[in-house]
Structure 1
Amino acid sequence: MIDPRAALPHTGDENPPFGDSSPMTTAAVDSAILSRRALFRGSSLLAAGAALSGLPFGRALLAHDVSESWPNVAAMANRYVSERKVANMFLTFGWGTQEDHAHTVGGGTLSLAKPAPVDENSLFRIYSMSKPITGMATMILIDEGKLGLDQPLHDILPAFRDMRVLVDPEGPLEDTVPADRPITIRQLLTHTAGLGYQIISKGPLLAAYNENGLVGGRVSRMPIPGFPPVTPAPGLEAWADRLAGLPLMYQPATKWSYSCSIDLLGRVIEVASGMEFEAFLKQRIFEPCGMNSTWMQVPQSEAYRLTDNYGIVAGNAFPLDPGVNSIYLDPPEVPAGGGGLVSSPKDYDRFLRMLLGYGKIDGVRVMSEEAVRVGTSNLLPASVDTTGSWMEGQGHGAGGRSVDQTFGWGGAAGTLAAVDYGLKLRSTLFTQYMPAEAYPVRDEFLAALEKDIAAMRAKQAA
């Protein structure tokens, strides 16, 4: 069982838990997708749910035609699609745990070049929305006593016992000092282990990541100008071993820095469980949740459901990874728990519904209530300085942002997902373009929500 004391109280302002998380290879798009501007700055879903819960027709609205209930949100989605900025923008809203079928806003097609419409069963590259799934898989093993939240990583992976830390994160790899303390599972869950990332690291450390094939998610079969090709490490075990041979960017438990730590947890899960990483996800999360459309490799028989992913250059969309010939039809060299999954809106809503049900869905117990409560709480080590980071004034749980009673994360191709425990609300936004910062979708979504709330309140007051 998990020690309840491990669940620190939620902290921070009311920013929702939508981060522009972007696990990609060096063939990825500009790292500008990671900027603070790409995050929601406001209380969007919190305010939305608060408005609805305070209105006599709030719950009925979520249980019926959501496009009519959220006209500005629908208009935003329809505008992006009609102006062909994206092929699709598909949102889901679900209320509580009994409402087993989330309702939708928006639409579009699988491709700008094809008429097939998207729906709840269409397949999207969710990139860093994989992180909360891997985080909850880790919490299952912690709950079962096969891992400890504050257990040293080197107990599981001995190669990480004597880590070195760069004096300058962008400096020479030889200029290091010993780590002051061991990396722990908590630190891996919260990006506080001091590890680097292809999209964060610079200088010699970035070059070493590339040379060692320390990739996260995949982007395209095609070469992308400005990003040298990288040969991935031959499997997750080799990936972890190579990572252990490189220095850390920061001393463990001192700084929040977006990292490859959730990918490393995939290897931790393998060793602790005795199962291959994706097999564990399938057996312990996907199957009991009824998520039958979530994979690292899309089966060829399901390729017809896979959206095209687009790169945005100067406001124009060009095919970056066509669904019919997607790199996600190939088996991954490295199963990336931080950014390797493809899923459907229906599947991801079921994952959120399981979290909203504190580990239970349709009468099936997937996780213990305690594991969910701890995993969605603020797990940041007390010694971590978040000043100047995305987490300043906020919290981070098992693979996702934890703010007040909300938990969730976003993906590099524009996707978003969150649960709000206070409001019993689950919500997702699916689209497919990179970099996510190419369009102000998050800010416009916030503005649209606020307009719809104002209209609801005005109608109530009339």
Structure 2
Amino acid sequence: MRDLAVSRRALLGSFGALAGTSLLPRMAFASAAAEAKFPAVTRMLDGYVSSGKLPGMIAALGWGAGEAPLDIARGGLAKGEAPPLDMDSLFRIYSMTKPITGMAAMMLVDESKLRLDQPIADLLPAFGKMMVQVTPDGSITDLRPAKAQITVRHLLTHTAGLGYSIIQKGPIRDAYIKAGLVPGQASRMPLPGMDAPKPLKSLAEFADVLATMPLVYEPGSVWSYSVGLDLLGRVIEVASGKPFDAFLAERVFGPCGMTSTWFRVPESEAGRLSTNYAAVGGMLLPVDPGKTSIYLDRPPYPFGGAGLVSSPRDYDRFQRMLLGFGTIDGRQVMSEAAVRQGTSNLLSVGADLSKAFIKGNGFGAGGSVGLGEDAGTYGWAGAAGTVGFVNFRVGLRAGCFTQYMPSDAYPVHKEFAQAVLADVTGKKAAA
């Protein structure tokens, strides 16, 4: 995501006509005004929905920590006759869970209950003597002892050397799936690469089983997308003395006013949940209908890397808290120091990014971080087409929500960032 490197004063000046709308009841003109101020975003949403590529999309955009979000919505919760999307519609945000987990860990770092460079073996002794594949994604019996310990920093930044069933190939991927190390869910129907033959029953069991697997890379050496943020959920449990989901509810969701963010959607809220689709051969096939979704069931355990369902309004509140450097609506959720550190580049010096899809960026607490002229941007995207980021330089927060898999079936993540940049700067974004 490109940085929105223009002055905040100039940007806010261009939005002067909307200055008072956050104090008024939401009316149709507010949406029309949002579309007028974000024409590129509007065209993008129109293009996907009017063409039938996607049944619905909604963008939430806002300034600073205090102003209410503007929204642009097209389409509905599902194809055909379905309620229209709005700011309280529910979406599977998948990996957009990672920044939330990352910030939860930063709270504990700030409180000295964790240290960034603390070996996780201090809390989870089973990770004290890890083995590493001699050939990444090769044999799982040709191994050598790890030269370094996995640290909290490594888990936050995908440099722990851990694997991921959606990334790895060969025997290590098969071993992860067979062992139930698939921390996520997509459908009640079996889907290739998504089903775990032996679902694990708790974060503690997940951590114990994961510790028996060889690492793919030496800790700290390579950026490789992994289950690190899921394992971090167990670290948070041990460090805080509370179940991971309870910690998030008490320390993040409650204080932020996020009333529609869950690992399990209450039955009473099923009518707000969008349908998730598989985009295959130009067609959309429903894999998880909202009213019968797998997210209405209790998950085996809270997946800190990809488990949350949230609404555009709720995720915007999380982003407002970040732009407020830990404060929202006068309530301090986390310290300014913790936010600044968590949204900074936490990668270890010398980490190999040559195979990383964040090449050119840094990585903070569960999210990508802009560097150089792109400094100030922090955020991440999800496997079902959602994406969200903040830019501290200009005080902007932005989120786009839709539901289709795989996310690379359409370039929504890239196009949304480019459209926001075009609207904010008045210039065509770089490819």
Q: Structure 1-normalised TM-score? A: 0.85
Seq. identity, %: 53
Secondary structure of 2:189's counterpart equals: coil
* Deviation digits for residues 208-263 of structure 1 (CA, Å, limit 9, x no counterpart): 11111011221000123576653321211111100000110000011110000000
User: Which residue pairs with 1:69 in the alignment?
Assistant: 37
Deviation at 1:305, TM superposition (A): 0.5
Deviation per residue, 1:314-351 (Å, 9 max, x gap): 11111010001100000010210000000000000000
What residue in structure 1 maps to residue 10 of structure 2? 54
Query: Please, which of 242, 246, 253 is the counterpart of residue 286 of structure 1?
Result: 253
- Determine the structure 1 residue equivalent to 2:24: none
Letter in 2 for 1:309: N
Contact 1:51–1:453 (8 Å) recurs in 2: no
Q: CA deviation at 1:60?
A: 2.3
Structure 2 residue 55 is the aligned partner of structure 1 residue 87: yes
Contact in 2 for aligned 1:89/1:431 (Cα 8 Å): yes
Deviation at residue 115 of structure 1 after TM alignment: 2.7
The reply on whether 1:310 has 2:287 as its aligned counterpart is no
Matching residue of 2:46: 78
Q: In structure 2, the residue corresponding to 1:319 is in which secondary structure?
A: strand
Structure 1 residues without counterparts, runs of 5 or longer: 1-15, 17-42, 458-462
After TM superposition, give the deviation of residue 302 of structure 1 in Å: 0.6
- 1:406: which partner in 2? 377
Q: CA offset at residue 51 of structure 1?
A: 7.4
**Deviation of 1:448 (Å):** 3.8
- Name the CA distance, whole Å, in 2 between partners of 1:452 and 1:144: 40
2:56 touches 2:76 (CA, 8 Å); kept in 1?
Answer: yes
Which position in structure 1 is the counterpart of 2:25? Answer: none
CA distance in 2, matches of 1:259, 1:227: 15
TM-score computed with the length of structure 2 as normaliser: 0.91
- 1:394 and 2:394 are equivalent in the alignment: no
Task: Quote how far apart the aligned CAs of 1:56 are.
Answer: 7.2
RMSD: 1.9
Q: Is the 8 A contact 1:194 1:255 kept in 2?
A: yes
1:98 positional shift: 1.7
Q: 1:416 to 1:443 in 2, by over 3 A?
A: closer
Q: Alignment length, in residue pairs?
A: 412
Aligned to 1:256: 223
Tell me: higher relative CO, structure 1 or 2? Use CA pairs within 8 A at least 6 residues apart: 1
- Residue 394 of structure 2 corresponds to 423
Which residue is equivalent to 1:28? none
1:295 corresponds in structure 2 to: 262
Distance 1:197 1:456 in 2: 38
- Pair 1:385–1:157, CA change in 2 (3 A): same
Asked if the contact 1:237/1:267 (under 8 Å) is kept, the reply is yes
Task: Give structure 1 regions of 4+ aligned residues with deviation exceeding 6 angstroms.
Answer: none
Indicate the larger mover: 416-425 or 69-78. Answer: 69-78
**Partner amino acid, structure 2, of 1:46:** L
Given the alignment of the two structures, is residue 185 of structure 1 paired with residue 152 of structure 2, yes or no?
Answer: yes
The correspondence of residues 348-367 of structure 1 with structure 2, limited to 5 A, is 348-367=315-334
147, 172, 180: which one aligns with 1:213: 180
In structure 2, how many angstroms separate the alpha carbons of the residues matched to 1:193 and 1:293?
A: 32
Q: Secondary structure at the match of 2:388?
A: strand
Q: 1:380, 1:397 within 8 Å by CA — same for their partners in 2?
A: yes
Q: 1:337 to 1:86 in 2, by over 3 A?
A: same
**Per-residue deviation, 1:454:** 7.1
Alpha-carbon distance between aligned partners in 1 of 2:402 and 2:12, rounded to the nearest angstrom:
32
Whether the 8 Å CA contact 1:400–1:408 is kept in 2: the answer is yes
1:59–1:95 CA contact under 8 A, matched in 2: no
Distance, in Å, in 1 between the alignment partners of 2:77 and 2:96 is 20
Partner of 1:163: 130
Matched residue type, 1:293: S
Residues in 2 aligned to 1:336 and 1:379: alpha-carbon distance in whole angstroms: 22
Following the alignment from structure 2 to structure 1, what is the Cα–Cα distance between the partners of residues 190 and 350? 42
* SS of residue matched to 1:54: helix
Instruction: Look up the match of 1:151.
Output: 118
Choose the corresponding residue for 1:437, options 408, 412, 421: 408
Q: Deviations over 1:270-318 (max 9, x none)?
A: 1111111100000000000000100000000111100000100011111
The aligned amino acid for 2:130 is M
The DSSP-based 3-state class of the residue aligned with 2:390 is strand
Q: Distance in 2 between matches of 1:430 and 1:359?
A: 24
Residue identity matched to 1:434: M
Gaps in structure 2 of 5+ consecutive residues: 20-29
Q: Confirm or deny: 8 A CA contact 2:73 2:86 kept in the other structure.
A: no
Distance in 2, Cα, partners of 1:402 & 1:177: 33
2:83 match: secondary structure = strand
| Aligned partners of 2:4 and 2:421 also within 8 Å | no
Deviations 1:121-174 (A, max 9, x none): 110000000000000000111111111111011001000000000001222211
